[in-house]
Amino acid sequence: MELSFPYDSVDISSDNSLLVILDQTQLPAKEVFLQLNEENEIFDAIYTLKVRGAPAIGIAAAFGLCVIMNREKSLNVNSFKTRTLEVISRLNSSRPTAVNLSWALMRMKKKVLSLLEFPDRTTDELLKCMFEEANAIKAEDVEMCGSISEYGLTLLKPGMGVLTHCNAGHLAVSRLGTALGPVYLAKDAGYNIRVYADETRPLLQGSRLTAFELMKYGIDVTLICDNMAYSVMDKGWIDIVFTGCDRIAKNGDVANKIGTAGLAVIAKNMGIPFYILGPSSSIDDNCICGDDIIIEERPSYEVTDLMFKSSVAPRGVKVYNPAFDITRSENITGIITEKGIYKYPYNF
């Protein structure tokens, strides 16, 4: 199953020397691709959300590690190992909540260490295997997103209204999407799905990214402010809610973009099905429940200044800016991974 998108939001150059990302901070005004190979700029690209979306972050980190170490292939094997572990640790600290980042980097670490169990390895051999592993991570994500989308499509019917939050589409993954993947398949099947996209304060991923990519694919999308979700549900315009996820605990609690938990409560009270869609790599076996998930808190200027020509708040006001919240498993109708549709109670 392939849909025609003009580009992937995260990729690697044909000569394996550059991480190539679509700078999502410049959307929707312009599509600018960055070519990166330095540790500081790759760390910055992840931290400042130039590349974002849990699966895309993991892929970017894996490719980023490879291109960084490609510049240091003249090191001897021991020094190369030490430097690789340093870079993995640094990149892993850039975004603490999205588990795909640490999942991909730990997979790369495991690969390197397993290779070093054999004597007489060269840095060229290590690099070759690292690039192969990073490419495998992306290829597997493409396949997982396809399967997630096909399972999600089984829940849609022609003419349905879908509410989504943040951005979990083509821009947030390797290709296609998680929460928006079924919508793309429904479009190609002639379902005429209507999407209502929360703007998603404070970084406006819904208005800048979700509305942008859906319009580009010719999908009927209506942008709403976050606090309008109840109103559109109350009018009967919403038949189902699809959102992505950044981390899933073993009991089915989910960390996703701030505002997701409130949507789940409203949807439950309104009798509207609420589904989380994400790859199984987002399931964290080390998290028993949502209380174990570290919630990233981001700078205050994102709330007061970042998206505005001038500050919309008095200087010096205290700001609380968590990037994510925890949606409790009992408020989630189902969690869709590439392995199927899971229903409450969850036990991953």
301 token code pair: 């200027």
d(CA 304, CA 297): 15
As a whole number of angstroms, the distance between CA 327 and CA 348 comes to: 16
CA pair distance 313, 303, nearest whole angstrom: 9
Pairwise CA distance, residues 173 & 59, whole Å: 8
Pull the structure tokens for residue 338.
């590439």
Note if 8 is an active site residue.
Answer: no
Q: 61 to each of 64, 81, 97, 137, 205, how far by Cα in Å?
A: 5, 17, 14, 11, 21
Catalytic residue among 239, 246, 253, 284: 246
- CA end-to-end span of the chain: 27
Q: What residues contact 114, with CB distance under 8 A and at least 6 apart?
A: none
Please, what sign has the CA dihedral across residues 32, 58, 88, 124? negative
The Cα-based distances of 297 to 82, 129, 159, 280 in angstroms read: 30, 35, 38, 25
Which residues have a catalytic role annotated?
A: 246
